Amino acid sequence: MSDILAQFTAACATFDITSHENVTSVAAILEPITAKLAQSKIQREQLGQNDALWADLRKLWHALSRAQLTFWDNEDSDDETDSQAEKTRQQGLRALCANVARFTRNLVAGVPRNQKRAFENEPAIRLLLHYYTSWSFVQDEEAILVARVLSQALANLVTGNDVVVSTLWTTYMNLPEDQVVLIRLLASSDPRTLVAALVLILNCIDGSRTRIKMLTRTVTGVRICISLLDSMVQLYDADDASEGARAFDLGYEIFSRIMAADLVPSLFNRLSMPDEIITPHQTTLLKLGRLISSGGEDVSHTNNTAGNSIIR
């Protein structure tokens, strides 16, 4: 591990986001480190004590987020040569972004100190999630993969850490709707991305009536609930043991928490629409309530619980 880490430190010291060689080199160096972190919590704890590592990680996240902002500014170019060069550049940036996200995901898993240190990168992760979940990437498999690992990193960043969870949830519940990446993630066609988003939501509200109230009473929270209800309808008939079934079970757990906090009536009222006796989302909420009250006898659960990190 020490030799690989030395390579990473050296590569970051001269890192230039505009150099395709630099980008691909750092992406490759991160792969074996990430794999080792998945195997050992002790190694995650030891690596987290390296202050230089956190400076390098922040440098990478900042550079990646800035690079995507630059791409937004230049994406209207019609020059074919420039377009091909930009495509190659973007492929390298995608690979690096995915590997930095995997590295962060594994580094923070189950280590509160690492979560706290890595949380300074949340704004960059959020910006990149916003970029990779834009409508132009709906059918782009590479972009979907990057969004998936970014969402997994975000989920691990807060899992089991109440201080970090509270800060993130308060921030997210007060964002303008067009900046709420959770809504975009819940609309993803990729079940594994959806699972990561649901793990994040469940772990944010678990054990906190205050955060559940924010989910069911704030404008942003209710919009997230609407997206959740849409997902539950689509996932109800998912094959047992599939990622879709796992996503349904996580959604079931989220609404179980809402019901246990006696906040279903409050949410029901906020789902109303003028001139409609009962809205489709209210109907779905009532059906879920009956299912939860009956103990979910018609659903095959996969025993998902809050508090689990995603690590591979």
pLDDT in tens, 236-281: 988 988 999 999 999 999 999 999 999 999 999 999 999 889 999 9
State residue 76's pLDDT score.
53
Listing DSSP states for the chain in one string gives: -HHHHHHHHHHHHT--TT-HHHHHHHHHHHHHHHHHHHH-HHHHHHHTT-HHHHHHHHHHHHHHHHHHHHHHHHTT---HHHHHHHHHHHHHHHHHHHHHHHHHHHHHTT-HHHHHHHGGGHHHHHHHHHHHTSGGGTT-HHHHHHHHHHHHHHHHHHTT-HHHHHHHHHHHHTS-GGG-HHHHHHT-S-HHHHHHHHHHHHHHHTT-HHHHHHHHHSHHHHHHHHHHHHHHHHHTTPPTTSHHHHHHHHHHHHHHHHHHTT-HHHHHHHT--TT-SS-HHHHHHHHHHHHHHTTSTTS------TTPPP--
197 and 312, same domain (yes or no): yes
Residues 125 and 154: beta-carbon distance below 8 Å? yes
Flag whether pLDDT at 168 surpasses 80.
yes
203 and 95, same domain (yes or no): no
Query: Of 158, 187, 220, which residue constitutes the final position of a domain?
Result: 158
277 and 145, same domain (yes or no): no
123 and 207, same domain (yes or no): no
Nearest CA-CA partner of 143 in 72, 91, 87, 65: 91
State residue 301's pLDDT score.
46
153 and 214, same domain (yes or no): no
178 and 125, same domain (yes or no): no
178 and 191, same domain (yes or no): yes
The CATH number for 113's domain is 1.25.40
Q: Structure pTM?
A: 0.89
Count the domains in the chain.
Answer: 2
Q: For the segment 24-69, what is each residue's pLDDT rounded down to a tens digit?
A: 999 999 999 999 999 999 999 999 999 999 999 999 999 999 998 7
Query: Of 135, 158, 181, which residue constitutes the final position of a domain?
Result: 158
Query: Of 158, 182, 208, which residue constitutes the final position of a domain?
Result: 158
21 and 150, same domain (yes or no): yes
Q: For the segment 19-33, what is each residue's pLDDT rounded down to a tens digit?
A: 999 999 999 999 999
279 and 205, same domain (yes or no): yes
Domain that holds residue 68: 1-158
State residue 302's pLDDT score.
44
Q: What integer best gives the mean pLDDT of the chain?
A: 90
99 and 132, same domain (yes or no): yes
88 and 122, same domain (yes or no): yes
